[in-house]
Structure 1
Amino acid sequence: MRAMRRLSGALALMLAMLLAVPAAAESRWPEQGWRVMPTSLAYPELLGALREAVKAEGMFVVTEAGPTEAAANRGITLPGNRVVGVFRNDYAVRILRLSVPAMIEAPMRFYVTEQGDGTGTLAWKTPSHLLAPYLDEADDELATIADELDTRFAAIAARVLEAAP
């Protein structure tokens, strides 16, 4: 009987956690340093448009990670969720020459999330926000790099929006 109560308690906890996932997905985004763009693209289309836009803007997808597929392999359904790391080696070299600690911010990432209606949202922390803590130790060139990367990331996002119907 005691084992049955533990099992039902564990099942209730798991159900509560699963029901909390959609609420977490709808949570408010931080305002400072973030850009968040809801799109009319379906989540998989948004991922494809992002990959194409990154390439078109002369950058590279260097990492991708997300819990959705791994959770599905465990029988758990989550909305689409993918972090896409974007960078380029010449930026890495330039940043390293100015600030070794600043390289922890590379690759800089786009975050693609699926909404309840199946559409995707594109979000990212701006490169200038990510590099701001390192500006005191580096010369003005690091701020210039941050501005260049802000421009590239905004151009990538603009290309993604152009792909929307």
Structure 2
Amino acid sequence: MTRLLAALILILLAPMTQAEMAPRDGWSVTATDKGYDALIDAVKAAAKANKMGVVTQAGPTGAAANRGITIPGNRVIGLFNNVYAVNILNLSTAAMIEAPIRMYVTENQDGTATLSYKLPSTVFAPYMAEAGPELETLAAELDAIFATISAEAAK
């Protein structure tokens, strides 16, 4: 009975002890002073200003709330540009599975939000041998664009 009670308590507390995003290899992780909704809006505005379209958005926060479950804000925003899509597709059909590149907005316990994403050069790395140096060039350009979007959104 004691083990069952302990397990139940851990299950119930798990959402409240969600870890904040930590730096990891091949990622950009930027803590901001912005709130969750403000950072989402800032990412969209910065993407538009840098000629990247918002292609997808998804997150469990709203659906969880509809089920009566409260979790920290969590949104994945997929960004891309058709010029890059066509150019990458011409180099590697398989590489297009990686588009759009996703930016990840997560709400922190203190009410601020963090912006994270895998570097495009990391995302496209498995296709470099197949696609050649042109894909490396495009991925480096996307690295710079996503860094600019991140910096603009975070300020």
The two structures have a TM-score, normalised by structure 2, of 0.92
Q: Which residue of 1 aligns with 2:142?
A: 149
The 3-state SS of whatever aligns with 1:86 is strand
Identity %: 55
Counterpart for residue 46 of structure 1? 39
**How far does residue 54 in structure 1 lie from its aligned partner after superposition?**
0.5
Q: Conserved in 1, the CA contact under 8 Å of 2:92 and 2:127?
A: yes
| Unaligned stretches of 5+ residues in structure 1 | none
Count of aligned pairs between the two proteins: 152
TM-superposed CA distance for 1:90, in Å, is: 1.0
Give the superposition deviation at 1:19: 1.4
Is the contact made by 2:23 and 2:29 (CA closer than 8 Å) also made in structure 1? Answer: no
Are residues 1:23 and 2:14 paired? Answer: no
Structural mapping, 1:120-159, within 5 Å: 120-159=113-152
Within a 5 Å distance, the mapping from 1:66-145 to structure 2 comes to 66-145=59-138
Larger Rg: 1
Secondary structure of the residue aligned to 1:124 is: strand
DSSP 3-state at the match of 1:40: coil
Contact 2:78/2:103 (8 A) holds in 1: yes
In the alignment, the residues of structure 1 paired with residue 12 and residue 33 of structure 2 have an alpha-carbon distance, to the nearest angstrom, of: 26
Change (3 A) 1:138 1:50: same
Give 2:112's aligned amino acid: T
Distance verdict in 2 for CA 1:103–1:75, change over 3 Å: same
Q: Output the CA distance in 1 between the equivalents of 2:153 and 2:134.
A: 29
How far is 1:21 from its partner? 1.9
Answering whether residue 50 of structure 2 is matched by residue 60 of structure 1, we say no
Shift of 1:95: 0.6
Structure 1 residues 84-143: Cα deviation after superposition (integer angstroms, max 9, x where no partner):
000011111111110111111100000000000110000000000000110001121000
Shift of 1:161: 2.2
SS at match of 2:86: helix
Aligned-CA RMSD value: 1.7
Write the distance in 1 (CA, Å) between the matches of 2:101 and 2:154: 20
With structure 1 as the length reference, what TM-score do the two structures score? 0.86
Deviations 1:57-95 (A, max 9, x none): 110110000000000000000000000000011111111
